[in-house]
Structure 1
Amino acid sequence: METPALEVQLQTLPSSPGVYQYYDKNQKILYVGKAKNLKKRVTSYFTKRHDSHRIGVMVKKIKEIKHIVVESETDALLLENNLIKKHQPRFNVMLKDDKTYPWICIKNERFPRVFPTRKLVKDGSEYYGPFTSFKTVNTLLDLIKGLYKLRTCNYDLSEEKIRNGKYKVCLEYHLGNCKGPCEAKQPEAEYNSNIEAIRQIVKGNFKESLQQFREQMKQHAEKMEFEDAQRIKNKIDVLENYQAKSTVVNPKITNVDVFSIVSDEGYGYVNFLQLSHGAIIRSHTIEMKKKLDETDEELLELAITEIRQRFSSKSKEIYVPFKVDAGEDVKVTIPKLGDKKKIVELSQRNAKYYRQERFKQMKIVDPDRHVKRIMAQMKEDLRLQVAPTHIECFDNSNIQGTNPVAACVVFKNGKPSKKDYRKFNIKTVEGPDDFASMEEVVFRRYKRLLNEGEDLPQLVIVDGGKGQLSSGVKALEALGLRGKIAIIGIAKRLEEIFYPGDSIPLYLDKKSETLKIIQQLRNEAHRFGITFHRNKRSKSALNTELEEISGIGEKTVIELLKQFRSVKRIKEASEKELAEVIGVSKAAIIYKYYKSKKET
C-alpha cells in the first residue's frame, strides 16, 4: 500500500497532459513516463494488479512523484524523450544505440567543399544526414565526385586573393578532378550551380541533375561535339545506375518516414525507412531493451520520437503498422494496400532480419543469454510460473493395435538431452487404449523419479488433445504432483495447446520459437517411440519365425541376422552358408526346418 504522502500526491494530480517522474527514498529517479491524463495514468500504477514482476518491484520503491504539465501530447512526447536521455532512469526502456553517425557537410565558404564528418560545427555550414554508415557516405561522395568537379583544398578562395594571384592550381587540376577556381579558371556561378545539384542528390532527388545532363548532352550533340556528348552520357549512366540501386518505391511517395517493430520478451527492434522522391534514402534499425514489459505501441512511440530527432527528420507523414501517438504535427497513416502497404511490410522484414542477426550473434558471443531469453519467452507464451529449463514429452505408439509402447523425450535448456530419453512397454493396459496408456507411463515415469530423488521437470507435454491430457493429469494427481509440475497437451491437427480444466485451447503464433520447440519435442517423441515400436515388432516377428525352431536360441538368431540381414535370406541360404556362421549342427537344424516347410 502506498504511503500517506503518496496518497496526497495521487489525489492532487491534474487531469492534464504531462510527464511524470517516480523517485525512490534516496531521491534517485526510477521512471519517466508521459500521459494524456496524468491523474488517470499515474493512479493506475497503484490501483491495478500488475502481471509484471518488474512493475511490482518498481511501484514498491516509489516514495515521491513529480510531474510537469504541458500544453499538448506532442510536448509530453518530446519532454519524456529528453528526460529519459538526460537521467537514464533504471526502469525506462534502454536504446542500445548511442554511436555518433556521419554527415555530409557542404562548407559555408566561397566555392564550398563537400566532405564527410562526424562533428557538427555551428558556422553556417549545411549538414545532410546523419547516415547510418561511412560506407553509404563514401558511396554517395564517390558518385558526386564522378559527376561534378569540386575542389578539395582548404584555401580561403576570397575574390581578392584570387584576383591577386595568391594561389596556383595543384595536381588535382592537372588530373582533371578540379576546374581550378583558385586561379579563376571556373566561374563562381557554375560552381554554385553544381553545389545546388549536389544538394538535391544528397536529398535523394536525382531528377534535376538528370535533366541538366540530358540538356548538356543534347547541346554537345547539336554542335557535333560527340566526345563531350559521350562524356555527359557516361555521367547520366552513372547517375541512373546509382538511382536504380536504391529501392524505388513509387515517385508519388515522397518525404515520408516508415516505422515498424518486432519484439520478444526482453527487447524491441524498430526499423526506420526514410523515403524521398520515391526512393528509400535511409534504413536504420535500433534495439530497445524493455524494462517494464512495455507494449509494442509504447516502444514504437518512444522510438519514433528518438529516431526523428536523431536523424533530424522533417517529414510531415509517417507510415506505421498500427495506430500510434506521434504528435500533433505528424500525420499517421496505417496503409491497408498497394505500394504504401508494401513499404511497411519491407520495413517489418528489415526489423525481423535484424532481430535474427542479433540472435545469431548472441548465440556466438553469449549462448547463456540466448537460452535465458528463449526460456523467458516460453514462460510468458505458455503462462507458466517458472521458466521451463527441463521439459519432458510423452508419445504413445500402438500401430495397428500391436505391441503398445510409449516414449518420453527430455529437453534441457531448449535442446534434446538424449541420455535422459526413456521408453516404456505398456504393462497394465489390454488392447489399444491411448488414454489409459498415457496415464500408466506418466505415473511410472514420475513415481520412479520421486523414488530415486531425481529432479522433476518444470513442464510436461503429452502428445494429444484433451483426453490424453486428462490421463496425464490423473497420474500427477495420484502422485501428489498436481500443481507442482505444469502439464499441457498438443493436438496434432491445428497445433492446439490444451490446459487442464480449460476447454478453450491456446493457439501460438505459427512462427514463434515456443511453438517450434514444442513441435520439435513432439516430433522427437514420435520418432523415438516409432523406432522403439518397430524394433519391438521386428523382435516379435523373430520370436514367431526363428525362435520357434527347437534348439535355436536368441543368440543364434542375432548372429544369423547380423550376417544375412533378414529372415528371408536365412530361408534361402544353403546349409554350408549357414554353417559358416553358426556351426554345422545348428545349420543342419535350420536348413532341415525350412526345407520341410517348403515341401509341405
Structure 2
Amino acid sequence: MTETADPRERLLAEVAALPSMPGVYRYFDAAGNVLYVGKARNLKKRVASYFQKDHGGTRIGTMVGRIARLETTVVRSEAEALLLENNLIKTLNPRFNILFRDDKSYPYLKISGTRTGDAAASAAARFPRVSYYRGAVDRRHRYFGPYPNAWAVKQTIQLVQKVFRLRTCEDTVYAHRTRPCLLYQIQRCTAPCVGFVSAEDYARDVFDAERFLLGDADAVVHDLQAKMMAWAEALEFEKAAELRNRISALSKVLHQQAMDESSLSASDRDVDVLAVKVAGGRACVNLAMVRGGRHLGDRAYFPAHVDEGVAFHADDFDDPVPDGDAATAPSRRDPEVQVLEAFLAQHYAGQPVPPLLVTSHAVDEALVAALVEAAKTRVRAVHQPREQRRIWLEMAVKGAELALARLLAEEGSQRERTRALAEALDLAIDDLDALHIECFDISHTAGEATQASCVVYHHHAMQGAEYRRFNIDGITPGDDYAAMRQVLTRRYARLAEAVAAGTASGKHRLPDLVLVDGGRGQVSMAREVFEELGLDLSLIVGVEKGEGRKVGLEELVFADGRPKVYLGHDSAALMLVAQIRDEAHRFAITGMRAKRAKVRTGGSALEDIPGVGPRKRARLLQRFGGVRGVGSASVDDLASVDGISRALAEEIYRALH
C-alpha cells in the first residue's frame, strides 16, 4: 500500500485503524509539542469524534486544526486509563489540559531512631529526635503528616516539645553535649543528652507523642492523669505538678482545635477536604488536611490552562448517559467538577490518599476507583457531608473563595503593570500574556565569588523555573562590565545563531525586552555584545539609579540611542521594572553568598592540607560543626575521627594554628 502524501489523510487513516478499546491518546503539533492528552473507554470512537465534528472557531477547533500526529496507548480498564492520562499530563504539560503544578513536596513531622531503648543502639538512636522533614521516607523512622505547610509542622513540633519534651537537637550536637541546653531550662526537653531521663521513661514519652499525633489524644490525657495521681499519692508533688502542666497544655490545644471527634470513626480521622471555585477564567482548589482528627491547615492550588482545559474536556464524554442519570449528567461538564477531577487525578498520582475525601462537588466514580487501585487501599469520596465534616468543608470553600479573589486582584494589578510598561516603551506586542522580559544583575563581595543572575518574567509573573545563575571566571575581580559581557554572551550566543538560521521559536527565542541593572556603562557593554551577535539593540534597557540612588527615581537608559526616560515614582510601569530588577538582585546575591559560604566554610584551609580529601574533610566538618570547630579541636579529638591518623591529626592541627 502506498503511503499518502497528505499528512491529514494519513492522520485520518491512523484514526480509522484505532481499536475499540480503553486507552489514552496524545495529540501533537507539527513542531512535536504535545497539545492534549485524553482518555477514552473506546479509543476509536473518542478520537474519531474530534475529526468528524465541525468545531468552528472554538478552542477545540483551533486545537484540532493544529494536530499533526497522534499517539495512543491501549490499557485494560478505564481506571488504568485515568491513571496513565494524568501521569502523562504531569509529565508532558499539554497546552489544552487543565494542569496542576506542584513543585514542592509536603513536609512531615519525623520521629527518628528506635523507640525500644535497645542498649545495642547508639546513644542518639535510643533517644529519638523529633524534627521537620521533607523528602523520601525511610522505614527506619516514623513520619506523621503530610502537613499542608512548614508552619503547621513547626507548630506541632513546638507542641510536642511542650507536652512530651522530646529532643530536637541534631545527633552530632546531642553526642557532644556535656551539660543541658536552654530547652531543658525552659522545660521543653528532658535532657537525655546528659542522662537526666532514663531510656525507658523517654520511650514512654515518645510513645505518648506518637499516640497523640495519630489522634488518640484522649487516651494520652487519661494516662497522664493517672500518672499525676500516682505521683501525688506518693507525695511527689513536684513531679505531679509537672504532669499537671503537661495535661493543661495538651487540653488547651485540644480545646482550640474545637473538633467534635465523637462524630468521627477511627478510619475517618485522616481526611482530605477539597473545595473548588472557578471565576474570571481562573480556578482554585483548596485542600484542607485533617490528620488524627486535627485540622492541620489548608493549601490553595491554582491550575494552568483552565479555559482551554474546560472547553476541551466538556466535549470529552464519549459514552451515552445511562438511564436514570440524565438529571445528574450535566454536572460532570461543570467547570468546577472538571477542575476538581483533574486535581484529584494529578495530585494523588504522587501522594498518599487518605481513607476519606470530602469534596465540594460530586466526582466520577471511575476516578475514585482509579484512586483505590493506585493506593491499594479503601478510599471513599463524600460530597454532601454532615456534622464535623460539613464544618470542615464550609471552611475549605470559604478558603477557596478568598484565595481566588486575592489571586484575581493580584493578577489584575500585575496585568495592568505589564500593559503600562508595554505602552511606556512602545513595545509592539499583540499578546500581553506573552511579553517576555529577562533581567541581569552582577553580584560579588570585593571581587570574590562573582555571580550573574538572569530572571525571567512572562505571563504577568516571575517564572522561577526559568531563572539561571552564571559563575563568572576569567575576569579581573570586581570588573562588573566584563562580568556583564560574559553573561550576556553566554546567554544569547546560541539564540543569536538560531535567529540567524530562522529556527528560534517557542521557549528558545529572544525575549521582548532585556533589562540590565545599571546605567550607561552596563548598557554600552550590552550594546557591544548585541552588535557582535547581530541582535536588535532596541531590546536592551538599562535601569539607572536616580538622584541620591533613591527608590522611585530610577531612569531607563536605551542602547539604541533613544533619550533616557523617567517614568514617575508612582508609575505602574516603573513598579514592574523595579519588581523585576529587585528579583534579579535578590537571586544574584543569594547565589553569591551561597558560593562565598561554600568557599569559606567548605574548608578552604582544610583543602590545602595534604592527605585531607573530600571524604575526610566532610567527616571533620560534620564531627566538629565547621572549620572553626575543627580549629578548636585538640590533636586527640582530631585523631578520634574515622580515617584521621595521629600523624594526619598533628598535621591538621599545625596547619590551623
In the superposition, relative to structure 1, how do residues 245 and 41 fare at CA in structure 2: closer, same or farther (>3 Å)? Answer: farther
- Do the aligned residues in 1 keep the contact of 2:337 with 2:361 (CA within 8 Å)? no
Aligned to 2:181: 171
Identify which of 393, 405, 420 aligns with 1:344. 393
1:150-207 deviation line (CA, Å, top 9, x unaligned)? 233434799xxx9xxx874443586254434345543333323322332333344423
- Do the aligned residues in 1 keep the contact of 2:22 with 2:43 (CA within 8 Å)? yes
Shift, 1:140, TM fit: 0.9
Identify which of 9, 15, 24 aligns with 1:10. 15
Matched, 1:297 2:308: no
Amino acid paired to 1:171: C
Q: Note the 1:149-548 alignment, pairs <5 A.
A: 149-155=165-171, 168-172=178-182, 175=185, 176-246=187-257, 248-253=259-264, 254=268, 255-289=270-304, 290-294=306-310, 295-309=335-349, 311-325=351-365, 326-328=367-369, 329=372, 330-335=379-384, 338-367=387-416
- Do the aligned residues in 2 keep the contact of 1:150 with 1:177 (CA within 8 Å)? yes
1:301-356 deviation line (CA, Å, top 9, x unaligned)? 12113333555333255444223343312322232655444443332222111111
Aligned to 1:456: none
Aligned to 1:78: 83
1:224 & 1:348 partners in 2: Cα distance?
53
In the superposition, relative to structure 1, how do residues 343 and 182 fare at CA in structure 2: closer, same or farther (>3 Å)? Answer: closer
Aligned to 2:148: 132
- Do the aligned residues in 1 keep the contact of 2:90 with 2:346 (CA within 8 Å)? no
1:259-290 deviation line (CA, Å, top 9, x unaligned)? 22111252221122233444423422211121
Shift, 1:119, TM fit: 3.8
Bigger Rg, which one: 1
3-state DSSP of counterpart to 1:94: coil
2:17 & 2:207 partners in 1: Cα distance?
57
3-state DSSP of counterpart to 2:19: coil
Aligned to 1:102: 107
Shift, 1:137, TM fit: 1.7
In the superposition, relative to structure 1, how do residues 35 and 221 fare at CA in structure 2: closer, same or farther (>3 Å)? Answer: farther
Identify which of 32, 38, 43 aligns with 1:33. 38
Cα RMSD between the aligned structures?
3.3
3-state DSSP of counterpart to 2:368: coil
Aligned to 1:399: none
1:231 & 1:183 partners in 2: Cα distance?
20
Amino acid paired to 1:22: Y
3-state DSSP of counterpart to 2:308: coil
Q: TM-score, normalised by structure 1?
A: 0.54
Amino acid paired to 1:13: L
In the superposition, relative to structure 1, how do residues 357 and 310 fare at CA in structure 2: closer, same or farther (>3 Å)? Answer: farther
2:92 & 2:77 partners in 1: Cα distance?
22
Amino acid paired to 2:339: L
Structure ranking higher on relative contact order (CA contacts 8 Å, 6+ apart): 2
In the superposition, relative to structure 1, how do residues 355 and 89 fare at CA in structure 2: closer, same or farther (>3 Å)? Answer: same
Shift, 1:300, TM fit: 0.8
1:174 & 1:278 partners in 2: Cα distance?
30
3-state DSSP of counterpart to 1:366: helix
Q: TM-score, normalised by structure 2?
A: 0.50
1:300 & 1:353 partners in 2: Cα distance?
17
Identify which of 109, 121, 143 aligns with 2:159. 143
1:305 & 1:86 partners in 2: Cα distance?
13
Q: Which runs of 5+ in 1 are unaligned?
A: 372-600
3-state DSSP of counterpart to 2:287: strand
In the superposition, relative to structure 1, how do residues 246 and 310 fare at CA in structure 2: closer, same or farther (>3 Å)? Answer: farther
1:221 & 1:28 partners in 2: Cα distance?
74
Amino acid paired to 1:315: P
3-state DSSP of counterpart to 1:280: strand
1:33 & 1:370 partners in 2: Cα distance?
35
- Do the aligned residues in 1 keep the contact of 2:147 with 2:289 (CA within 8 Å)? no
3-state DSSP of counterpart to 1:95: coil
Shift, 1:145, TM fit: 0.5
Shift, 1:148, TM fit: 1.8
Shift, 1:3, TM fit: 1.8
Q: Which runs of 5+ in 2 are unaligned?
A: 1-5, 114-124, 311-334, 373-378, 421-657
- Do the aligned residues in 2 keep the contact of 1:111 with 1:157 (CA within 8 Å)? no
Amino acid paired to 1:306: Q
2:362 & 2:110 partners in 1: Cα distance?
36
1:359 & 1:138 partners in 2: Cα distance?
30
1:455-499 deviation line (CA, Å, top 9, x unaligned)? xxxxxxxxxxxxxxxxxxxxxxxxxxxxxxxxxxxxxxxxxxxxx
In the superposition, relative to structure 1, how do residues 180 and 245 fare at CA in structure 2: closer, same or farther (>3 Å)? Answer: closer
In the superposition, relative to structure 1, how do residues 196 and 64 fare at CA in structure 2: closer, same or farther (>3 Å)? Answer: farther
Amino acid paired to 2:166: L
- Do the aligned residues in 1 keep the contact of 2:25 with 2:39 (CA within 8 Å)? yes
Identify which of 50, 54, 68 aligns with 1:63. 68
- Do the aligned residues in 2 keep the contact of 1:259 with 1:347 (CA within 8 Å)? yes
Matched, 1:112 2:161: no
1:197 & 1:78 partners in 2: Cα distance?
39
In the superposition, relative to structure 1, how do residues 22 and 203 fare at CA in structure 2: closer, same or farther (>3 Å)? Answer: farther
- Do the aligned residues in 1 keep the contact of 2:98 with 2:309 (CA within 8 Å)? no
In the superposition, relative to structure 1, how do residues 192 and 310 fare at CA in structure 2: closer, same or farther (>3 Å)? Answer: farther
Aligned to 2:455: none
Q: Which moved more, 1:139-148 or 1:281-290?
A: 281-290
1:279 & 1:349 partners in 2: Cα distance?
19
In the superposition, relative to structure 1, how do residues 72 and 229 fare at CA in structure 2: closer, same or farther (>3 Å)? Answer: farther
- Do the aligned residues in 2 keep the contact of 1:321 with 1:344 (CA within 8 Å)? no
- Do the aligned residues in 1 keep the contact of 2:164 with 2:246 (CA within 8 Å)? no
2:385 & 2:253 partners in 1: Cα distance?
30
- Do the aligned residues in 2 keep the contact of 1:103 with 1:128 (CA within 8 Å)? yes
Shift, 1:84, TM fit: 1.7
Shift, 1:257, TM fit: 2.3
2:355 & 2:199 partners in 1: Cα distance?
33
Amino acid paired to 2:74: V
1:100-157 deviation line (CA, Å, top 9, x unaligned)? 4433222234322111133446473333334233222221111110012223343479
2:220 & 2:57 partners in 1: Cα distance?
56
